[in-house]
Structure 1
Amino acid sequence: MSDSTTSELPHTAAGGPVSYAIFQLARTHRAHAASLLRALNLHPGQELLLMQLFDHDGQTQAELLERSGLDHSTLSKSLRRMQEAGLLTRQPASHDRRLMVVRLTEAGRALQEPIADMWRTLEQLSVGDLTPDQIQAFTTYARAIEQSVRDHSRQEPGD
């Protein structure tokens, strides 16, 4: 049974129905999150960096790199855009001028509650029709799948 809101599984993806479902879910979720972020004048991913800084302001770029899971060029580009937008500052560390310390500005700090509201809105939209047990099961399965993919990625030669 299918309707206009349900994507049928392409024949080529028949060997990976879970992977295809994850891809479709991630794409749809990210698109909706992007529209909510646009209302805050943010690009997808910037809210995640801000969330790291809300919890631990004054991190080095290396610490943000490790905590965010982004690659170096993506992080640098995002931080540059956010600095140009007046959301944060980057200055050399006093103890080691080679390290750049990232700090929120007042404008960046002012986004904490709007981002928390956006996250709550996205969560309600995402799980509004699920029971608490379904939410817990989904979260457990999603984390297990993520860990499995991470573990496999670490084992691949050439990393």
Structure 2
Amino acid sequence: MSEQIEYSAADEAGVERIARLVRLAARGFNRSLQIRLQTQNVTFGQWIFLRILWQEDGLSQRELSDRAHLTEPTAHTALIRMEELGYIVRRNVEGNKRRLHAFLTAKGWELRELLEPLALEANDIALSSLTKDEQTTLRKALTVMIRNLEEDERRAASRGVRVPPTKGHASS
């Protein structure tokens, strides 16, 4: 069941929480992109790892899971499937026989030309009713919010308070 949102005068008054609106927008972006990715038989999880590898090819499974903010077992499963599909090859580097690194194949690199326009299309749809000035304001506001929240997390960490782990097992 999808969560519906109606914009009203109450929203202009600031009643609707920004966190909820951002979460719903992020979910909408993800779903819009997933609809498009499936036309190329690529999952959203594979998209996440492809994007990372397009920026920095040859990362280890741990490096990929860290950059994607996903668990290593999740990364492992996705990478095995990506290898089966011929998007990547995994191999040892620098004499380290235990750690496998993922490298894009020609097919993996070719996907970039097919998939990036799909992401731009989803982005364009989301922004289609906003003026250029509104888009600029939105980008600036979101960037400031991200910085504020990152700083809040740094301050908490300096006091010894960490975000509870979502990867692996939490301590009892």
TM exceeds 0.5? yes
Alpha-carbon distance in structure 1 between the residues aligned to 2:72 and 2:151: 21
Question: Which stretch shows the higher mean deviation, 66-75 or 26-35?
Answer: 66-75
- Show CA shifts across 1:80-119 (max 9, x none): 2211222111112233112211111222111010112112
Question: Which stretch shows the higher mean deviation, 109-118 or 20-29?
Answer: 20-29
Normalising by structure 2, what TM-score? 0.74
Question: Which stretch shows the higher mean deviation, 64-73 or 32-41?
Answer: 64-73
Give the fraction of aligned pairs with identical amino acids, expressed as a percent. Answer: 22
- Show CA shifts across 1:30-87 (max 9, x none): 1111111111111113212112212222222233233333232222222122112221
Partner of 1:51: 51
Aligned CA RMSD, in angstroms, stands at 2.5
Q: Which amino acid aligns with 1:142?
A: L
Partner of 2:78: 78
Alpha-carbon distance in structure 2 between the residues aligned to 1:67 and 1:78: 14
Alpha-carbon distance in structure 2 between the residues aligned to 1:85 and 1:94: 26
Q: Which amino acid aligns with 2:35?
A: S
Alpha-carbon shift at residue 153 of structure 1 (Å): 4.6
Partner of 2:169: none
Contact preservation (8 Å) 2:29, 2:123: no
Partner of 1:3: none
Structure 1: gaps of 5 or more residues: 1-5
Q: Which amino acid aligns with 2:90?
A: R
Q: Which amino acid aligns with 2:70?
A: L
Q: Secondary structure at the match of 2:44?
A: coil
> When the two structures are aligned, how many residues end up with a matched partner?
150
Alpha-carbon distance in structure 1 between the residues aligned to 2:148 and 2:16: 15
Normalising by structure 1, what TM-score? 0.79
